[in-house]
Structure 1
């Protein structure tokens, strides 16, 4: 049985704020219940991250000080640059933040991070690793690379030590995929 979901209809859009690749829009909409209302949409670039596993079954996580969230533990990842594919961004971020290159890549999936935000996070698994040097930028100063056994990383995702939802989801998706193999 197919259910037809009621739809939103955009009547107008006003950009309230724009700087670089960040925009905030004030839309006038008709909601699924037929009522007219205002709706704010935050438009930001998509991101990509990589769950990289070494031959010992450990995954690479980076720990750093985030301006908004304090200390963060996450698989390496970041913003997709203009003209870059999600996989290319995941490869670049893994090399920059962790100093790691990989020979084998698999797509884990993608997720929307919030309902009023356009950002989608593209998640990849990486193996066949070669370890090199981190290439950190100014906001990543002090970022450390840690190697976690997968069961411990899953626990960290479940108990809140990974505060970023996409980081937790990527680790859990990777663990589930690995379990199914």
Structure 2
């Protein structure tokens, strides 16, 4: 049985048109804008979105037993979360340096081998991007937690269990789920663990 071919629809004939902007909220981390726009169907409306001032970086750290490092902590917004280590970029910091820093701070791990997994937009109404990496050849050390990370624990998950957690919603944060799935795909496509 052959699979049907993927049919791609032609591009929307008329792009969004921007007319004006009102900034509703301006913080150190983000802005909330309300733009007056004309939608692709020609309807004039308003569109609100989140403009991030910084992006995030996240690392899937893979040990020589095929396990990945996950951190568990209590977030203010979502309660208990489980995710590969990650966080926001410091001013002027590039994504790889941020990923290295966050891995060391949150999990106490340094790595020799780094590869880029990719980048995703976190939501349709946000400019925030998450830069994802896979790290190997790990050295374990001590966590360097901040006040908001107090109580954060490190757990080692077999990759196949982490994939199952991504698929069943245990990994609530979208970047956590996507990074684990991308790492698994990368590892399996290269035939190495």
Partners of 1:145 and 1:26 in 2: how far apart?
Answer: 40
Where do 5+ consecutive residues of structure 1 fail to align? none
- How far the C-alpha of 1:2 sits from its partner, in A, is 8.6
Q: In structure 2, how many angstroms separate the alpha carbons of the residues matched to 1:30 and 1:91?
A: 42
Taking structure 1 as the reference length, the TM-score comes to 0.97
Give the Cα separation in 2 of the matches to 1:78 and 1:22: 15
| Aligned-CA RMSD value | 1.2
Quote the offset at 1:3 in angstroms.
2.9
The one of 25, 30, 33 equivalent to 2:38 is: 30
User: Which of 77, 89, 108 in structure 2 is aligned with 1:99?
Assistant: 108
Query: 1:109 matched to which residue of 2?
Result: 118
Distance in 2 (alpha carbons) for counterparts of 1:27 and 1:168: 31
CA–CA distance in structure 1, aligned partners of residues 176 and 149 of structure 2? 17
SS of 1:116's equivalent in the other structure is coil
For normalisation by structure 2, the TM-score amounts to 0.91
Shift of 1:10: 1.2
Q: Distance in 1 between matches of 2:34 and 2:91?
A: 24
Greater CA radius of gyration, 1 or 2?
A: 2
Consecutive unaligned residues of structure 2, counting only runs of 5 or more, are 1-7
Cα distance in 1, alignment partners of residues 45 and 120 from structure 2? 26
